[in-house]
Amino acid sequence: MEMAEEVFRAGDWEWNYYWRTNPDVVKYIQVVEGLFIGEIVAHLQAVLDGKSSLDYTHIFVHDGDIGPVLGALGINALRWPAMASNIAFEVWETNDKSNRYYARVLYSGWTLQTIHGTLDWVPLADLIDIMSPYVPEDIVSLCG
C-alpha cells in the first residue's frame, strides 16, 4: 500500500506541475490544448452573443485533454483523471438584464473548485474571460 501511495503522490505532483504550477503553464496549455479550449470558448461566446441555436453538445476526450482544460479553468488541485472523468459546462439563461447568461462547471459531477472560486452560477462572460488567455492567438508561431 505504501508503494501505491507513493506512486499516486508522484502522479499528483506531475499533473499539478504540468497543468497548474509550471511557470510556463499558460504557454504550455496553449500549445497542447489551446485550440480545443478555443472551440469551447467559441461555443460559449456564441451563446453570449445570441448566435447559438445549440441546446446540447457533447465531446468525448481523453484524460490528457481533461488535465489542460481543468488547468485553464484554474482547478485548485489536480489528480490524474480517473476513468469516466468528465467536465460539464452548463449555461443557464435568465431574465437578469445585466447578466442574462450564467454558467456552472462540473468535474465528474461536482462543482469545480478553482483559484477563481467555485464555478457555480458564474456570469458566462466571466467564465469566457477565465478561459480566453489559454487560447493561442497564433498557434503556428507559438509552435515554430
Q: Hey, what domains does the chain have and what are their CATH numbers?
A: 2-143 (3.40.50.1240)
Cα–Cα distance measured from residue 43 to residue 91, given in angstroms and rounded to the nearest whole number: 11
Q: What residue has cell string 447568461? A: 101
Alpha helices in 74-137 (DSSP H): 124-131
Q: What residue has cell string 488567455? A: 133
pLDDT tens by residue, the chain, 144 residues:
899 899 889 989 999 999 999 999 999 999 999 999 999 999 999 999 999 988 888 888 888 899 999 999 999 999 888 889 999 999 999 998 888 999 999 999 999 999 999 999 999 999 999 999 999 999 999 987
Backbone angles phi, psi at 105, to 5 degrees: -120, 125
Please report the pLDDT score of residue 62 as a whole number: 87
Name the percent of the chain in helix, strand, coil, to the closest 5. 50, 15, 35
Residue 110 bridge partners (DSSP): 107
